[in-house]
Amino acid sequence: MKFGTRLLHNGNEIDPVTGAASIPLYQASTFHQEDVDQPGSFDYARSGNPTRHALEETIAQLEGGCRGFAFASGMAAISSTLFLFSSGDHLVVSKDLYGGTFRVLTEVLPRMGIQADFVDTTDLTAVEEAVRPDTRAIYVETPSNPTLKVTDLRGVADIARRHGLTTIVDNTFLTPYFQRPLELGADIVIHSATKFIGGHSDVVSGLVAVKDPAVADRLYGLQNALGAVLGVQDSWLTMRGLKTLAARMEAATTSAGRIAEALSRNPEVKQVYYTGLPDHPGHSLQASQASGHGAVFSFDLGSGKKVREVLSQVRLPIVAVSLGAVESILSYPACMSHAAMPAEERQARGVTDGLLRLSVGLEDPDDLLEDLERAIDGRRLLSVSSEWRASIV
């Protein structure tokens, strides 16, 4: 069965008890036991809840894992997974990393004796050179945020296999619709389902899928022990989002490609970072490991002044952190996701004062492009709405 069909027919879409076509909200924290010597499938909702269970089985299926886990946020998923490691362990991690993950790896885990080195994982030689005798895992984000650097997932998994390491991939940007890291050799895949999987800017949610049953047992123990589980309502919303993932990713990615291409021809735009553009350095690698380029791209307007002008002029995208929603979201990394990073370090990574990131939503791409180009070219709204004005005079 094709992926788009499996989103809707994966064995977890119908309530096994009532036949309901939408898994009900089992808003219960505890479950009556008929026989204390033979406990039922569910006993206490931190350990398991039928609504959350349906979502967990679904993400396992979609990523090709043996088991899935739903957490209270992407960061809860990431932190709980990182608790698989112990004092004395070392991790090799992508340098271009989600800020929250960077914070856990630099401010929390070192206190527990877990160390991380941040390397450019697009360079496989650098990855292999960073592996030490105490290294236990390689943790990768691809494409990276916000300049969309692409890491060779098969190459990283190969290095990990040769050194007996676990490969962990944050697959938030592409979702299993476009990229399935477990099929490329990774061991654990993580999502902030707050983004494309939830898809509607209405839920904070995290998912993990695991390939190996022994690792899954350990992660289940951690999920139950640490307790950062996803609530019932949020599990339902995440499942509801997943059902339309294929349609949303297709439409938004088609629009993103069109808009990125048009902006790359705009003389006011210094640079566009999108793996769908043939001149992006990761273009062909991305095409070899993912079936699409996703709906997020970044573009550089040259200065913070120009950025502020554009942000004050755009009408359609909301100006916000986050990505992956039905509405387009325009983010300013220098002041948002990368604000804590020293300016020089930011510049060195291409996160300049002129860089904006656009997560394309489901608006008509003609309208989005017109809105963006009008803001970028400094035209006032009135000058392009003559048609609308004509219609009211």
- State how far the Cα of 253 lies from the Cα of 29, in Å rounded to an integer: 40
Dihedral sign (CA 344, 347, 349, 352) = positive
Q: Is 198 in the site for ligand PLP (CB under 6 A)?
A: no
Task: Point out which span in 72-80, 154-162, 220-228, 369-377 binds ligand PLP (CB under 6 A).
Answer: 72-80
Indicate the residue among 75 and 91 with the shorter CB distance to ligand PLP. 75
Q: Considering only residues 50, 65, 68, 74, which one is a binding residue for ligand PLP as defined by CB under 6 A?
A: 74
Question: Which residue sits closest to ligand PLP, CB atoms considered?
Answer: 74
Whichever of 73 and 201 has its CB closer to ligand PLP, that residue is 73
**Catalytic-residue membership of 170:** yes
Locate 259 and state its tokens.
């808009």
Beta carbons of 276 and 257 less than 8 angstroms apart: yes
Considering only the stretches 26-34, 54-62, 191-199, 284-292, report the one whose residues sit in contact with ligand PLP under the rule CB under 6 A: 191-199
End-to-end CA distance of the chain: 55
Binding flag, residue 75, ligand PLP (CB under 6 A): yes
Chain-centroid distance, C-alpha 305: 29
206 binds ligand PLP (CB under 6 A): yes
Q: Which is nearer to ligand PLP, 90 or 191 (CB)?
A: 191
Q: What is the CA radius of gyration of the chain?
A: 22
CB of 103 to ligand PLP, least distance (A): 11
Nearer to ligand PLP, 145 or 175 (CB): 145
Binding-site size, ligand PLP (CB under 6 A): 14
Examine residue 170 and tell whether it contacts ligand PLP (CB under 6 A): yes
Q: At residue 175, what is the residue type?
A: T
Q: Which of 98, 102, 177, 273 binds ligand PLP (CB under 6 A)?
A: 98
CA 27 to chain centre: 28
Indicate whether 69 belongs to the interface with ligand PLP (CB under 6 A).
Answer: no
DSSP-derived letter for residue 108 is I
Q: Kindly tell me which residue out of 73, 253, 286, 298 binds ligand PLP, with binding defined by CB under 6 A.
A: 73
Measured between alpha carbons, how far is 332 from 312 in angstroms, rounded to an integer?
12
Interface stretch with ligand PLP, choices 71-79, 153-161, 290-298, 345-353 (CB under 6 A): 71-79
Per CB under 6 A, 192 contacts ligand PLP = yes
Binding mask 138-167 toward ligand PLP (x if CB under 6 A, else -) reads ---x---x----------------------
Distance CA 34, CA 278 (A): 62
Closest-CA residue to 123 (of 162, 97, 152): 152
Q: Whole-number minimum distance, CB 173 to ligand PLP, in Å?
A: 6
Give the DSSP H or E segment for 330. Answer: strand 329-331
Check if 305 is active-site. no
- Residue 26 found at the interface with ligand PLP (CB under 6 A): no
Distance CA 16, CA 356 (A): 46
* Residues 6+ positions from 262 with CB-CB distance below 8 Å: 369, 373
Give the residue among 374, 373, 378, 350 at the shortest CA–CA distance from 266. 373
Taking the C-alpha atoms of residue 104 and residue 112, their distance in angstroms, rounded to an integer, is 11
Residue with tokens 């609504």: 51
Catalytic residue among 152, 170, 187, 234: 170
CB of 76 to ligand PLP, least distance (A): 7
Q: Is 64 exposed, middle or buried (0-12, 13-18, 19+ CB in 10 A)?
A: middle
User: To the nearest whole angstrom, how small is the minimum distance from the Cβ of residue 322 to ligand PLP?
Assistant: 7
Give the residues lining the site for ligand PLP (CB under 6 A). Answer: 73-75, 98, 100, 141, 145, 170, 172, 192, 194-195, 204, 206
Active site residues per annotation = 46, 98, 170, 195
